Chains A and B, each alone.
Chain A
Amino acid sequence: MTYNINEIKQISIETKMKDYSKELKITEVYKAYKDAHPAIKEAMCLKAEYPAYFTPIQDGDLFAGRLKQGRVGFTIDEWGPTAFAYYCQFEEIENDLKTYDYPAEEKAKIEEMLKFWETEDTSNKIRKEYPPLMAQYLFSDDWMNTSGIAFPLYRLTGSTPNFKKLLDLGIPGIYKEIEELKATAEFDGRDVQFYEGMKIAIDVLADVCLYYEKEIRLLAEISTIDEKKEELNKIADTLHIITISKPRTFREAIQLFWIYTYVADIRNYGRMDIYMGDFLVNDLNAGIIDEDEALKYLQSLWQLMADRNTVVHNRVIIGGKSRPNEANADRFALLAMEATRTVKEIEPQLSLRFYEGMNPALFEKALDVIGGGATYPILYNDDININSINNAFGFSIKEAERYFTPYGCGEFILEGRSFGTPSGVINLLKALEVTLRNGVDPVTGKVIGLQLGNFEDFHSFDDLMNAYKKQVEFFVSLLAEQEVLEYKICGEEAPFLYNSLLYDDCMAKGKGMFAGGIKYLGGTLETYGNTNTADSLTAIKELIYERKLISKKELLDALDNNFAGYENIQLKLANAPKYGNDNEIADSMLERVHNHVCNFVKNQADRVGLHSYLVVIINNSANTLMGRSTHASADGRKAFEHMNNGNAPSGGNDKEGVTAMLNSIAKPSTSIHAGSVQNMKFSPELFFERRDIIKSLLKTYFDKGGSQAMITVLNRGDLENALVEPEKYRNLFVRVGGFSARFVELSTEVQKDILSRTLY
């Protein structure tokens, strides 16, 4: 069986010959400061990048701040699968050189630049440091296109800093803080270069504001429409003010916040209702703006976020316990939901934290917005999550309540305090299929896992289960060590100035967040195929070991042939109990798989020296992508088809109704991992005509321990019609996994995955 899994290449393609002068300039600066203090090197590189990479404001923008990232640069997040920290997009650049006819001199410069970055690119530096065993088993960095059990990820994603500090102090206040801390460090005889770097970074931030101010004044000058002229001058005024004063108005606060998110490459925004609520309400009370104007600001900000097109980030959190300014925050939260309802985009990923006793208007508004087809807000149950975080991470209840924020696809961290980038993925179903074949990957025929014996040698189900566990544990251990290695090298490379500035306790210590500065440095690991693995194990246990209806050989033959000629066996496998039906046999197997991997991962933290190391059962489209390299499985799934999504039942396997499904998904423990996502689909009829029923369904689910819900409201007919006439269904949004998308823009496979999921 061969299958071409190399169709997906996620590189951005240029439509015309790209000018590489900015990249070359950054490379020159990097070279010049290569041996300087990391803080100075980073600051000088930032100065070379910004404002150079910023792009002009567009019609309708009420705030400045758009950016086109270059092919070489510095980021805390990622600009491609291995493009993070000091990065170079090798593949894209090589592609440009092949596609376009660059003048010989320029071409030579670009080629030299490529060669230079080969050893300086942070991902390459990390890969080079892998010990032999890690290099052998984590053999590929291309998890999207390679068949394998586990893969490393290169990024420091999910930064959600303390924006309140930024807005409380403003540029002048921050500058002052840096000066004071520098003086103390000097007095103590500590390193002051960290603070020197910070000062340069703040200058760059101010430069970006002034650059935009100048550009926009020019635009205002040439504009012939009075209204537009006035509006542009307001934007320019705002940009000017925030360089000399802390923000005083809602508008100034949003402007400073937005520019900062770009220079720092922060893509998740934390509890915005707390840090924006007071600005909003003060302005409203003082008559500076009215609600309509405030909504326009948010709509513009929402559009800027949408155009940022992060796919899996742009989280804005509203609601929840421990908001010091609850009434003002509520007012902001309602306005934010209205912005989401009216802007009709797939980002930002507005998320509502809620708890028993919160202002009911928020939850009611949330259901209206979800029901309108927005897929937002995503619902987070504080009454469950706070205790879970307390147990999983060890944060105090008080700390968890105040600072907890989901980011990206749904990982939990504390804003301004903790970090936990997912730096590895594991395909549990692949681990099982390799274990059934003594270490051999049925897709490639290569030995890629531990050789723990043949299926025939596992005389009891426990023998098999133990081998599967051993396989998983081996890879988890490697991934945990990889995460630490990644942090270590990043800590040596750079202090990540803009992020460290807003992260406890970096400023006081004078250290970058990955060089010992941050308060809580944790890590996470993404697991995929959890449900398929559990359902496969259930089928094997029931049909082979207990009822002996299928032999081991028959099963392997059926799987190897992708059930062709073995339809009868596939049917038996498909009819075995499945997770998602409130069935004790199937659900307890899921819990067994879940508890094993979650607890084993959790226990790695101490061994490798992280504050926490936890599983996240999130989903981007990895269930589809990794499914493409996973053979037929014992749950009846055919080869290369998508795997289950997050903590959900496999598509269409939940057949006992929505209460049974909710009962099942509320069973796996939420207090041993760092977040787990739950997609559910409802019809508009149920959502609107029976709102009482929807409310009591959700209430019961959350009472039973449901931690999260991502709800899509649509008709099956709409989905089917959208396949035929995509142009008419541009506004049909669906929740894919940990992100939302326009249904018509998804790949056929992902569309198939969505269609297979039960609609209630």
Chain B
Amino acid sequence: MTVEEQVKQIIMEQLNVTEEECVPEAKFIDDLGADSLDLVELIMAMEDHFGLEISDDELAQISTIQDVIDYIASRQ
């Protein structure tokens, strides 16, 4: 699986959303119905899956699915 596919898979599981909803420009809070706790849990799941640590400052920069994909790609 590509990074993009893996990220989408985690998002679908964590936020209980469909693949169709997981478009790159989808915003977690505005489009996917996540709250701040959901977002933190999502990031924790990403950290576990990709074996990295995302700081609070970096977390603040993340609002769309594409942001996550870009961030993880840049760290690999």
Answer yes or no: do A and B interact.
no
Task: Give chain B's interface residues, CB within 8 Å of chain A.
Answer: none
Chain A residues close to B by CB (< 8 Å): none
